[in-house]
Structure 1
């Protein structure tokens, strides 16, 4: 498929766009210079310091070495060189690899599953920051050396440089916040609102769709069929289903999926098999795995035998299949190493088809793992039986995510997405004994300490349900009230946004399945201009209240929030900015919510005097 022609850039000022793909095993960076009146070109960076093989499809290991004091000693392409590896072994440097997986959402970690530990004293944000800084420096150097057209790198001011950060489908606001923190530490952007606005997040699945479209993928919206993009990378296999709509855009059909069965897990299974051999050769396992990684793309037949050189030619052990320092590995064994990854893709497609309201006609396999002929052939054969056509671009797409990230920024072809979870907040509602569901919970009724009302606490108020089609700028809101004994305490609000993860279609009662309502983030807003209402309880004591809407926007690739309220002076409906603080652990949540240390309600992330109301 030939690449699509692109129009001249119509903007009135220069921009420089970098897309960073930090993979589990390999990373890359692509860029585009936007110059008024010129046709934009998207290019991958293909030259890195001490890189052995320079090609148009270059990428570098997502590996870094640190000394005992935590100082960065080597990173990226240089970690593949023999001198660096020898120095790391002699000096006892700590190796950081697969670091990206330490950012995984907890719910995606399977029991018993582990990843290589981080170097002592290093956080995952620090390591990701080092990789980001390395990629950005290499990207800047490449741009400066590759373009001698009178528009030097220094012509682009910092505020003209925009970054696209890609991440697996299964990641959300918490992981985005941690990646932004790493970008700030790497000095890609300053820690200011203007700096934050220079970062855009997108999923690897959506980046891969844009990569395929840039390569000439054509889909007729009249076909009423869907396409599934399967981005098979080092750590994850991301699946996203789209369909073409009028006007040339696409809409997401189902909630994208993320599976941890990428290329590294084939290595993990091979390593486990190697370890089952004679323990005398345990020290050679790392070398065997390294040799297996090099041989893996060449695997084509389970009927052939493959050999891995791991020792001197004088080492022979026929009982273990070792001859001339080589380990004999039957093709049938290698096929078993691939088996779970193949099954994962096939089953993942079936699950997406089950959730989709349209038939999936095509599967496009992209990503570095897709270059495996064996993987492609096995998946193609199994899905062909389901009448699904599997394709690869002429380019296997090992740089699909980085290049696609830039195309995503330029084209924005996805006009609507499907909400991943049900979002809402915890509220109190007035007790209504004539409501059967309330009557069942009459024992939970409490008297609110401010208003004296009889209320049912721990009630979930839904703002946006799961599996709802959300357009780019579409907003979802609900109205709430907050009460206080003094007007001064209503100058600001801090409200927890919960993400329901259970199976109920209309979740209502938090106490019924408390663990299914984790806090996603905290919305903080200035409410000093919100009109106050004075009321009196049954004893004649005055109290105050404010009414406002919490407004969520999830149509883009990052959650946004604000509040809407009636101004206390003008009486006009206004939009107030809100800060979204994502929560990744209890300590962060306690800081964000200023929780009282004496709180003994068993949930340190919640305020026992919660006073948000929702009219029912």
Structure 2
């Protein structure tokens, strides 16, 4: 497949797009200057202070050093020659901090237990702010040095709010993680702390960014040209992100793709191979005369040896001139048997193989090709083991040129410019916890008969029903709607002045979740929706006493990069929608919420039988 051919930029004025790929172990930046009438080009930032030749001059270590006062000392450098700054100058080295932003789940928590704690009095947001400031400063200097004939270019872009930022993140990151990254971008002064400023921060999953990168580089196979599925396995430092796509042969645009299975994310990246090696080496050498060499050996394994491992013993530099055959210590190195080293890799290998099987099982099209990208893809051992497993499955696996593995930020810019993915698959069932009218003919209802309560109108109801609005594993396009009808009743009209809802997602194994108190740990709050207004025109009904009722529909729609939630209501029998086009008298405040590379726009209204009630809303996240 030929590399992606772009059309000229059709915007009315120049814009600058900058993508940050803040990885667990390495980071990079790419950018594009969008000029009306010109075909956009994507460029990586190739010069960073202290960088040397890491990643072909396109990547820097995701590392920051702080002094005792918490001030940044050095950023983007991993080694200081023959001495450790935390020992010599009492600096604190912070690495792998991205993993502290992980979602709240048992798997993520178990993975985070293996990560070095953050420094005292520093939050993960604080560290993201410092690192973003550094990346932005390097990017500005690089652009200024690259375009010396346009000294006022960046000043003009800043003044006109014409700089857009794309932040890549693992497939498993959710709204809470994106909200925190957006907060860091504001604090790092990438954008102002306004709705318009935050709207200039976009998110894309690393899996989708990798797809855009592969399309951009022309890495599609003949099978993919025919519309068969391709699996992007982005094996990075912290996570392994698995995403399945296929070409949309019915689309007018040639390079249009659709997601064909729900994306997955696993905490089995390269750092966990290092952690397993660390535990093994510590168990072997603790209490021996080589105990003081453990830190050096683990660091040498991480930086030099692990990616060179093949089907033979591995000799890791040990910084010792003594020998001990029983411990495997030779002069200058520690011998690790191939079976032991293979064990360090095995959980990651098994994770990818199992993920490929699951994606092929659930995908809406045949998957015949796997593209292995990311820093972990540089491991020959990983590739060979996967090649053996994929052959038995009848799947071809390819490992693109290493330069592709260093340019996820390029894919982030391509995502912004090209928008190759037009449909996605919902990862979880999304809905609302509500009361359900009791049905004596339903077996599950009868089992819950002791929990029946009477509503204000005298009808029988059950609590803890999960009302699904957007089902799991559903293909969602730009114009497709998902909606459910709801109502609220109360004896007191004032109760509607503070309406609140939780949008829930179910992450468990049940194909048809019905009750939020069954497998309760698998439900989590996507966001909180709170009405700050007052209901004015609620209708009044009489049934076993006076009560008030508010009726409404919750509508979910999915655009190219946005999943929007609205309340719809009936007015004069016909159904109307709340939207920005309806004007200030019909429209309530628009709150932009970010999740999974998508922009959630929630427009909240309360619905009455006779008319419209104005109810502004807030969206909040449970952030820990």
Q: TM-score range by the shorter chain?
A: 0.7 to 0.9
Distance 1:118 1:221, change over 3 A: closer
Residue 611 of structure 1 aligns with which residue? none
Are 2:330 and 1:323 equivalent residues in the alignment? yes
Q: State whether residues 531 and 546 of structure 1, in contact with CA within 8 Å, keep that contact through their aligned partners in structure 2.
A: no
User: Residues of 1 paired with 2:349 and 2:518: CA distance?
Assistant: 39
**1:77-104 Cα distance to aligned partner (Å, 9 max, x none):** 3x43349x64332343332221111122
Q: State whether residues 24 and 99 of structure 1, in contact with CA within 8 Å, keep that contact through their aligned partners in structure 2.
A: yes
Are 2:508 and 1:502 equivalent residues in the alignment? yes
User: Residues of 2 paired with 1:492 and 1:470: CA distance?
Assistant: 32
User: Residues of 1 paired with 2:350 and 2:403: CA distance?
Assistant: 20
Aligned residues: 578
Aligned match for 2:99, one of 90, 98, 101:
101
Consecutive unaligned residues in structure 2, runs of 5 or more: 580-587, 596-620
Residue 605 of structure 2 aligns with which residue? none
Residue 466 of structure 1 aligns with which residue? 472
CA RMSD for the aligned pairs? 2.9
Residue 160 of structure 1 aligns with which residue? 162
Consecutive unaligned residues in structure 1, runs of 5 or more: 584-604, 607-616
Residue 128 of structure 1 aligns with which residue? 128
User: Residues of 1 paired with 2:310 and 2:191: CA distance?
Assistant: 49
State the TM-score, normalized to the length of structure 2: 0.85
State the TM-score, normalized to the length of structure 1: 0.86
Aligned match for 1:517, one of 523, 532, 548:
523
User: Residues of 2 paired with 1:214 and 1:453: CA distance?
Assistant: 59
Residue 193 of structure 1 aligns with which residue? 195
**1:102-124 Cα distance to aligned partner (Å, 9 max, x none):** 12223233658421111112111
**1:412-435 Cα distance to aligned partner (Å, 9 max, x none):** 111111111111111123334455
Residue 23 of structure 1 aligns with which residue? 23
Q: State whether residues 496 and 535 of structure 2, in contact with CA within 8 Å, keep that contact through their aligned partners in structure 1.
A: no
User: Residues of 1 paired with 2:576 and 2:376: CA distance?
Assistant: 56
User: Residues of 2 paired with 1:225 and 1:189: CA distance?
Assistant: 41
Residue 231 of structure 2 aligns with which residue? 228
Residue 614 of structure 1 aligns with which residue? none
Are 2:286 and 1:283 equivalent residues in the alignment? no
Deviation at 1:491, TM superposition (A): 4.0
Residue 69 of structure 2 aligns with which residue? 69
SS in 2 for 1:80: coil
**1:250-293 Cα distance to aligned partner (Å, 9 max, x none):** 11111111122211122122222221333322222221122223
Deviation at 1:13, TM superposition (A): 0.8
Q: State whether residues 297 and 373 of structure 1, in contact with CA within 8 Å, keep that contact through their aligned partners in structure 2.
A: no
User: Residues of 1 paired with 2:149 and 2:398: CA distance?
Assistant: 38
**1:22-47 Cα distance to aligned partner (Å, 9 max, x none):** 11111111111111122211111111
User: Residues of 2 paired with 1:349 and 1:269: CA distance?
Assistant: 23
Distance 1:484 1:337, change over 3 A: same
Q: State whether residues 366 and 400 of structure 1, in contact with CA within 8 Å, keep that contact through their aligned partners in structure 2.
A: no
Distance 1:473 1:282, change over 3 A: farther
Are 2:88 and 1:90 equivalent residues in the alignment? yes
Residue 81 of structure 1 aligns with which residue? 80
Deviation at 1:395, TM superposition (A): 3.8
SS in 2 for 1:140: helix
Residue 586 of structure 1 aligns with which residue? none
Residue 591 of structure 1 aligns with which residue? none
SS in 2 for 1:398: helix
Are 2:348 and 1:350 equivalent residues in the alignment? no
Residue 574 of structure 1 aligns with which residue? 578
Residue 302 of structure 1 aligns with which residue? 311
User: Residues of 2 paired with 1:63 and 1:222: CA distance?
Assistant: 40
Deviation at 1:221, TM superposition (A): 6.4
User: Residues of 2 paired with 1:366 and 1:402: CA distance?
Assistant: 13
Distance 1:509 1:344, change over 3 A: closer
Aligned match for 2:241, one of 238, 242, 247:
238
Deviation at 1:188, TM superposition (A): 1.6
Distance 1:435 1:233, change over 3 A: closer
Aligned match for 1:398, one of 391, 395, 405:
405
Residue 552 of structure 1 aligns with which residue? 556
The range that moved more, 518-527 or 399-408, is 518-527
Q: State whether residues 423 and 465 of structure 1, in contact with CA within 8 Å, keep that contact through their aligned partners in structure 2.
A: yes
Residue 598 of structure 1 aligns with which residue? none
Distance 1:51 1:348, change over 3 A: same
SS in 1 for 2:499: strand
SS in 1 for 2:408: helix
SS in 2 for 1:195: helix
Distance 1:385 1:531, change over 3 A: same
User: Residues of 1 paired with 2:514 and 2:238: CA distance?
Assistant: 37
**1:25-76 Cα distance to aligned partner (Å, 9 max, x none):** 1111111111112221111111111222266452111112223333222222
User: Residues of 2 paired with 1:263 and 1:295: CA distance?
Assistant: 13
Q: State whether residues 497 and 523 of structure 1, in contact with CA within 8 Å, keep that contact through their aligned partners in structure 2.
A: yes
User: Residues of 2 paired with 1:59 and 1:444: CA distance?
Assistant: 58
Q: State whether residues 64 and 76 of structure 1, in contact with CA within 8 Å, keep that contact through their aligned partners in structure 2.
A: yes
SS in 2 for 1:31: strand
Deviation at 1:356, TM superposition (A): 2.1
User: Residues of 2 paired with 1:138 and 1:459: CA distance?
Assistant: 52
Are 2:188 and 1:179 equivalent residues in the alignment? no
SS in 2 for 1:385: helix
User: Residues of 2 paired with 1:359 and 1:423: CA distance?
Assistant: 27
User: Residues of 1 paired with 2:185 and 2:247: CA distance?
Assistant: 34
